[in-house]
Amino acid sequence: MDLGGLNLFVLIASLMVSATPILLAAIGETVVEKAGVLNLGVEGMMITGAVVGFAVAINTGSAPFGFVAAAIAAALLSLTFGFLTQVLLSNQVATGLGLTLVGLGLSALIGKPYEGLKSVVLQPVKIPVLSDIPGFGRMLFSHDPMVYISLIIVAGVWAWLKFTRAGLVLRAVGENHEAAHALGYKVIRIRMLAIMFGGACAGLGGAYISLVRVPQWTEGMTAGAGWIALAIVVFASWKPWRILLGAYLFGGVTVLQLNLQAMGVAIPVEYLSMSPYLITIAVLVFISARGNQNAPAALAKPFHASN
Amino acid sequence: MQESLLHIEGLTKAYPGVVANDTVSLTIGHGEVHALLGENGAGKSTLVKMIYGLVKPDSGQMTFKGQDYAPPKPSVARQTGVAMVFQHFSLFEALTVAENIALGMENPPAQNDLARQIKEVSQTYGLPLDPLRTVGTLSAGERQRVEIIRCLLQNPKLLIMDEPTSVLTPQEVDILFKTLRQLKSEGTSILYISHKLEEIRALCDTATILRHGKNVGTKTPSTATARELAELMVGASFDSPQKKEKDLGQTLLKIDALNVAATDHFGTSLKDVSFEIKAGEILGIGGVAGNGQDELLMALSGEQSVTSGAIEFDATDISHLPPHDRRLRGLLCAPEERLGHAAAPNMSLTENAIMTAADRKGLRKNGFLNWAGARQFAQDVIAAFDVRTPGTENAARSLSGGNLQKFVIGREVLQNPKVLIVNQPTWGVDAAAAASIRQALLDLAQNGAGVIVISQDLDELIEISDNFGALNEGRLSAIKPMASLSLDEIGLMMGGSHGMEAMQ
């Protein structure tokens, strides 16, 4: 299926790969924000995940080990954010921005010896039978495992928030922490766990960039993916399936404009490069203009248990 | 009396600088409705929080059904059989009724079963409620039903109710009392917190009165007079506001078909609000919270833009004018929220004084502020309104609620407004301070100003208003002379009992 030199199946297959880092980071941040915490350090956690994942994968020779290590490292980094904001009640916006700066600096330091090396590749998993379907098989069922895992996480977060008691409690904490506390729920503990989940997801997203998408280490390689993930959470009104839509929209426009650049379309490269950001922002503005944004009511408000 | 349900002996809780409860003892029997009476800050809330396991006492014992009782957390209290309906509802606006109720239960059933149980309980006790509605769309009375049903589903032995009627219409109060009497007849004890004496006399078997954290007496409300209870509660007698006969002057402010869209998701839009106010008049605007009171104040003050022609002041259209220009012309406001809206919490009283008074008191010249003058003005307010504070340089947040309220109202009154609009002027203020604030508003009207009092305290409006109207879902009822209205009529103007249609 070709559209003026663009193969639609290839395009969709590559947009899924392109969107996965943002999808992972955004779904993690959704859970954090649903619990009422605004962690602006997504970019810092992603890049930390990217460098730690890359280093561990090189040293162990195993990409899966790299992903696990990336998740743990980013979760630990997010724990410092949790400690500062939840226990010491520091300002969430300032602390989140600080976390990004720390992550960028730390990753540059850790990553110095690994520049220019080639990472171990995560092998694609061809799902039996389904991957043999012409066109669609290659488009949807021949990806590496992280693409499937990211989709499973989205579905899992959706079901967990909607159907489980723990999910209900987490939403309640993000809506009104005073009331949740009055009912006897452990606001700070729940938020700490949410922050760590968000950190782990951002770490996986970062590792996906350094182990699959690029795959090598260069300083600052996340290039703003964490910020886009944050924007997508808002654009998606904190709803998991819309997160998927938003991430794939951004990924899709990114892949499309790269293809158009390669084809030498007569639009200046600068405009093409900025198009994913512009289109995502335009959609964001359109959605928020409709009013109901569904933001968790206690988002970014400090909680202090005053007896 | 036979074996008691809950016995409290010498319970003490101190916070830095204040003893909230000082060796309080009381006993609640089976099936007894026990009133806990006291002014704001008397320690009622702290006491019930200890019973409910939210606060740990410093010393003292509690026994529940003869067993030692010291709940470390609310869930233990709930399992023992203590349930509580909070004054400021502990509800989650974005969640449904059923989800809210599930959050307050230890082992909630599946949502479908729970919805069925909610329907059953709400029918049994005459508390209509739709389990699938989002709480943010419910009226205050309906929200309270959510809390009550949440408690009832756990079959409590003791139900604590913290100021349950402060947000209800008179009709809703009747429904609530019927429910509470039914519970009592089934053997449930109720600890009923209030400062409304008539309610307590109508409902309660015993009353314990707290003052400054101490138990100052236990009475039988049906035999004690309201005066007796009030004096125990306040500790001294004070003058009730005096209202004098007067003639009304010309129209000062005229509102014509005012429509304002709600600013936030769960706000209320104003629909076709029209009224006018004459010199010397006090217009009381009643209604349950969240029916457009905040929106009305913001439209009048100029914080919210309105269509031209809607607001006429001194026969000029001022709809397009911002707050500053309205103040210059003599239209002043004192909003409800003391900390954050009426006053900046971290700024000194002098700074807070100059913020609204800079122009009317001539405290600004060529862009420079006259701080000496501002300090003097703050001093005048403090003196005239008996604000208890060490001085003008103290931060607004360091004042108690009642003292800050006196300051905020006094600041506007001393600027000689032509029309003053106040929202909840005595919310959370002790009885003596409330009386002096009401007297100040009466004096202001006596001297020819128009005063609009938006309040949820019906007793207050009955006491001081000449005319009365009620806001209900953003619509203002017809304005009627206060003296001609019965309590029943007032209740109907406020919308009667909200949400009864859910029953059908």
Its domain, for residue B481, covers 251-496
* Distance, CA of A74 to CA of A29 (rounded, Å): 13
Q: Are the beta carbons of A180 and B103 separated by less than 8 Å? A: yes
Say which residues have a Cβ less than 8 Å from residue B426's Cβ, sequence separation at least 6.
B405, B433, B434, B437, B438, B455, B457, B460
- Across A189-204, average pLDDT: 97
Chain B residues whose CB is inside 8 A of the A168 CB are 95, 99, 102-103
Contact A184 B75 (CB under 8 A): yes
Position A199 confidence tier, pLDDT thresholds 50, 70, 90: very high
| Interchain pair B103, A168: CB under 8 A | yes
Regarding predicted confidence, which is higher, B300 or A11? B300
Q: Do A179 and B90 touch (CB under 8 A)?
A: yes
Stronger pLDDT, B41 or B439, i.e. the higher one: B439
Q: Give Cβ neighbours of residue A158 (< 8 Å, ≥ 6 apart).
A: A240, A241
Distance CA A7, CA B479 (A): 71
If pLDDT is split at 50, 70 and 90, which confidence band does B471 have?
very high
Q: Which residues of A touch B (CB under 8 A)?
A: 165, 168-169, 171-172, 175-176, 178-180, 182-185, 291-292, 294, 296-297, 307
Please name the residues in contact with A161: beta carbons below 8 A apart, sequence gap of 6 or more: A31, A34, A167, A170, A171, A240
Three-point CA angle B497, B499, B504, nearest 5°: 115
Q: Which of B43, B11, B49, B14 is nearest to B27 (CA)?
A: B11
Instruction: Please check whether residues B410 and B354 belong to one and the same domain.
Output: yes
Task: Report yes or no: B361 and B383 within 8 Å, Cβ to Cβ.
Answer: no
- Asked if the C-beta of B94 comes within 8 angstroms of chain A's C-beta atoms, the answer is yes
Query: Strand pairing partners for B468?
Result: B284, B480
Residues of A in contact with B95 (CB under 8 A): 168, 171-172, 175
pLDDT, residue B498, reads 65
Judgement on whether residues B229 and B272 belong to the same structural domain of the protein: no
Cβ atoms within 10 Å of B303's Cβ, excluding its own: 16
**Closest approach of B57 to chain A, Cα-based (Å):** 11
CATH code at position B16? 3.40.50.300
Is B265 part of the contact surface with chain A (CB cutoff 8 Å)? yes
Per-residue pLDDT at A306 exceeds 70: no
Specify whether B366 is located in the same domain as B469.
Answer: yes
Task: Please give the pLDDT value at position B1.
Answer: 44
Residue B412: pLDDT over 80: yes
CB nearest A175 (choices: B73, B93, B108): B93
Return the CA Rg of chain B.
24
- Assess whether B230 and B267 both reside in one domain: no
Distance from CA of B75 to the nearest CA of A (A): 6
- pLDDT at position B217 is 87
Inter-chain contacts counted by CB atoms under 8 A, chains A and B: 51
Within a domain: residue B1?
A: no
Specify the pLDDT at position B414. Answer: 94
- Chain B CB contacts of A178 below 8 Å: 90
Asked whether the predicted pLDDT for residue A160 surpasses 90, the reply is yes
DSSP string, A122-191: PPP---TTGGGSTTHHHHHSS--HHHHHHHHHHHHHHHHHHH-HHHHHHHHHHH-HHHHHHTT--HHHHH
Is B102 in Cβ contact with A297 (below 8 Å)? no
The answer to whether B95 contacts chain A (CB < 8 Å) is yes
Q: Tens digits of per-residue pLDDT, B63-75?
A: 999 889 999 988 8
Class of residue B376 by CB neighbours under 10 A (exposed 0-12, middle 13-18, buried 19+): middle
If pLDDT is split at 50, 70 and 90, which confidence band does B142 have? Answer: confident
My answer on whether B155 and B270 are in the same domain is no
- Last residue in a domain, options B170, B204, B234: B234
pLDDT, mean of residues A140-164? 93
Pair (B196, B267) in one structural domain: no
pLDDT of residue B247: 80
For residue B19, tell me if it sits in a domain.
yes
Do the strands B450-454 and B467-472 form a parallel or antiparallel pair, or are they unpaired?
unpaired
Nearest CA in chain B to A176: B92
Residue range B309-327: mean pLDDT, rounded: 92
pLDDT over 90 at B487, yes or no: no
- Is B240 part of any domain? no
Q: Closest-CA residue in chain A for B74?
A: A184
Asked whether the beta carbons of residue A297 and residue B55 sit closer than 8 angstroms, the reply is no
3-state SS class at A118: coil
Do A182 and B90 lie within an 8 Å CB cutoff? Answer: yes
Give the nearest chain A residue to B109 (CA atoms).
A165
Q: Which tokens go with B177?
A: 């009392």
pLDDT at A130: 81
Q: Which of A27, A53, A11, A38 is nearest to A222 (CA)?
A: A53
pLDDT value for A175? 93
Residue B441 belongs to what H/E stretch? helix B431-446
Chain A environment of B75 (Cβ under 8 Å): 184
- Domain regions of chain A by residue span: 2-119+141-289
What pLDDT score was predicted for residue A307? 40
Whole-angstrom distance, CA of residue A18 vs CA of residue A255:
7
Q: How far is CA A39 from CA A230, A244, A295, B48, B393, in A?
A: 9, 20, 14, 37, 38
Contact B94 A171 (CB under 8 A): yes
Q: Do A171 and B92 touch (CB under 8 A)?
A: yes
Contact of B102 with chain A, judged by CB distance below 8 Å, is answered with yes
Same domain, B417 and B452: yes
The CATH architecture annotation of domain A2-119+141-289 reads Orthogonal Bundle (1.10)
Do residue B366 and residue B292 come from a single domain? Answer: yes
- Of B432, B430, B438, B389, the closest CA to residue B409 belongs to B438
B18 touches chain A (CB under 8 A): no
The more confident residue out of A61 and A184 is: A61
User: Does B241 fall in a domain?
Assistant: no
Residues B222 and B348 in one domain: no
- Which of A183, A292, A296 lies nearest to residue B90, judging by beta carbons? A183
Report d(CA A121, CA A213) in Å as an integer.
10
- Length of chain B equals 504
Alpha-carbon span A128 to A138, nearest angstrom: 12
SS (H, E, C) B332-373: EEECCCCECCCECCCCEHHHHHHHHHCCCCCCEECCEECHHH
Name every chain B residue with its beta carbon within 8 A of the beta carbon of A169: 103
Option in A178, A182, A297 nearest B93 (CB): A297
Q: Is B19 on the interface with A (CB under 8 A)?
A: no
Establish if B126 belongs to a structural domain: yes
Pair of tokens at residue B155: 């079959």
Would you state the structure tokens that stand for residue A255, as one six-digit string? 């892949």
The alpha-carbon gap from B265 to the nearest alpha carbon of chain A, in Å, equals: 7
What is the pLDDT confidence band of residue B391, given thresholds at 50, 70 and 90? Answer: confident
Neighbouring C-alpha atoms within 13 Å toward the C-beta of A261: 14
Hey, is the C-beta of B372 within 8 angstroms of any chain A C-beta? no
Q: Nearest Cα to A178, choosing from A169, A187, A170?
A: A187
Structure confidence by residue, pLDDT tens digits, B37-61: 887 778 888 899 899 988 899 999 9
Q: Do B55 and A307 touch (CB under 8 A)?
A: yes
Please report the pLDDT score of residue B504 as a whole number: 37
What mean pLDDT do residues B383-408 have?
A: 86
Torsion angle, CA of A17/A271/A279/A10, rounded to 10 degrees?
-30
- In this prediction, residue B398 carries a pLDDT of 82
Give me the residue label for tokens 């928030």.
Answer: A161
Residue B502's pLDDT is what? 43
Bridge pairing between strands B450-454 and B282-286? parallel
Closest by CA position to B64, among listed B25, B28, B110, B99? B28
Token output for B217: 């007496």
Chain A within 8 Å of B49 (Cβ-Cβ)? yes
**Quick one: CA dihedral A54, A59, A64, A69, positive or negative?**
negative
Which of B174, B205, B234 is the last residue in one of the domains? Answer: B234
Rg of chain A in Å (alpha carbons)? 20
How many C-beta atoms surround the C-beta of residue A11 within 10 A?
17
Taking CA–CA distances from B75, the nearest residue in chain A reads A184
Predicted ipTM beyond 0.90: no
Q: Model confidence at B162, in pLDDT bands (50, 70, 90)?
A: confident
Which residue bears the tokens 């248990």?
A305
Position B232 confidence tier, pLDDT thresholds 50, 70, 90: confident
- What is the tally of structural domains in chain B? 2
In a domain, B83, yes or no: yes
Band of residue A48 on the pLDDT scale cut at 50, 70, 90: very high
Same domain, B285 and B419: yes
Best-predicted range by mean pLDDT (A31-45, B22-36, B62-76, B251-265): A31-45
CB contact under 8 A, A168 and B73: no
Cα distance from B112 to chain A (closest Cα, Å)?
12
Shared domain check, B442 and B328: yes
pLDDT in tens, A97-142: 999 999 999 999 999 999 988 888 778 888 888 888 887 777 788 8
Q: Tell me the shortest Cα–Cα distance from A94 to chain B, in angstroms.
A: 21
The verdict on residue B242 lying in a domain is no
Render pLDDT for A264-288 as a digit per residue (tens, 0 to 9): 888 898 998 888 888 877 876 776 6
Q: What percent of chain B has pLDDT over 90?
A: 43
Tell me which chain A residue has its CA closest to the CA of residue B103. Answer: A169
pLDDT > 60? residue B503: no
The rounded distance, in Å, linking the Cα atoms of B361 and B413 is: 12
- Across residues A196-210, what is the average pLDDT? 97
Nearest to B103 among A178, A183, A307 (CB): A183
CA distance A204 to A187: 26
**Interchain CB contact of B73 with A (< 8 Å):** yes
Q: Are β-strands B282-286 and B467-472 bridged in parallel, bridged antiparallel, or unpaired?
A: parallel
d(CA B317, CA B311): 6
Instruction: Please name the member of B73, B74, B92 whose beta carbon is closest to the beta carbon of A176.
Output: B92
Confirm or reject contact between B86 and chain A (CB < 8 A). Answer: yes
Please indicate whether, in this complex, the C-beta atoms of A182 and B86 are within 8 angstroms of each other: yes
Residues in chain A with CB shorter than 8 Å from the CB of B99 are 168, 172
Residue B314 lies in a domain: yes
Q: Determine the average pLDDT of the residues in B411-425.
A: 94
The SS3 call for residue B215 is strand
Single-letter amino acid code for the residue at B201:
R
Q: Inspect the interface and report whether the beta carbons of B95 and A175 lie closer than 8 Å.
A: yes
Closest approach of B473 to chain A, Cα-based (Å): 20
Categorize the per-residue pLDDT at B416 as very low, low, confident or very high, splitting at 50, 70 and 90: very high
* Residue among A167, A166, A174 at smallest CA distance from A34: A174
> Cα separation of B204 and B174, whole Å?
14
Angle at A147 between CA A145 and CA A152, to 5 degrees: 90
Nearest-angstrom CA–CA distance, B408 and B382: 10
Q: Are residue B270 and residue B146 in the same domain, yes or no?
A: no
Last residue of a domain, one of B199, B234, B269: B234
Please determine, for residue A254, whether its predicted confidence score (pLDDT) is greater than 50. yes
- Measured in angstroms, the CA of A195 and the nearest CA of chain B are apart by 21
